[in-house]
């Protein structure tokens, strides 16, 4: 697995390639959380490529992740995948996030994700 985190002026871009295990997912998510805490930014584009889809989220403790994210303020996170299976996995994460009132949304392209992240006047919290 390879991942990178780039902190830009308006949002963080987190990229992961060739993820296979829940442990790799945990490491990537921890790097994202650290970047959010250190940068003070509240928008993130997460791009996942050439990786196995994750439908069993208990292996990377998504409940605790969402709790921590909820405490960070009005986060807005766009998820982008390069395959249909990964996109379905991201849609599942989006559904779980909405149940917690978090603004995490799956997109087909980075451009669409960035447009959503940067949309002015758009509340970063979803309605409950």
Q: Where are the domains of the chain?
A: 2-118
Q: How would residue 115 be classed by pLDDT, with cut points 50, 70 and 90?
A: very high
Which contiguous run of DSSP H or E holds residue 84?
A: helix 84-99
Position with higher pLDDT, 19 vs 122: 19
DSSP per residue, 98-122 = HHTT-EEEEESSHHHHHHHHH-TT-
pLDDT tens column, 9-65:
999 999 999 988 878 888 898 999 999 999 999 999 999 998 877 767 666 677 778
Position with higher pLDDT, 98 vs 53: 98
Tell me which CATH homologous superfamily contains domain 2-118: STAS domain (3.30.750.24)
pTM, rounded to two decimals: 0.88
Mean pLDDT, the chain, integer? 87
Opening angle at CA 31, ends 29 and 35, nearest 5: 115
Opening angle at CA 89, ends 123 and 85, nearest 5: 130
């Amino acid at each position: 697995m390879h991942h990178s985190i780039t902190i830009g002026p308006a949002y963080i871009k987190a990229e992961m390639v060739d993820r296979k295990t829940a442990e790799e997912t945990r490491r990537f998510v921890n790097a994202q959380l650290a970047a959010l805490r250190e940068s003070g930014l509240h928008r993130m584009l997460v791009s996942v490529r050439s990786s196995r889809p994750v439908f069993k989220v208990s292996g990377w403790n998504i409940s605790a992740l969402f709790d921590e994210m909820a405490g960070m303020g009005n986060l807005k996170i766009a998820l982008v995948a390069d395959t249909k299976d990964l996109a379905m996995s991201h849609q599942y994460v989006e559904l779980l996030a909405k149940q917690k009132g978090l603004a995490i949304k799956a997109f087909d392209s980075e451009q669409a994700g960035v447009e959503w992240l940067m949309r002015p006047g758009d509340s970063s919290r979803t309605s409950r």
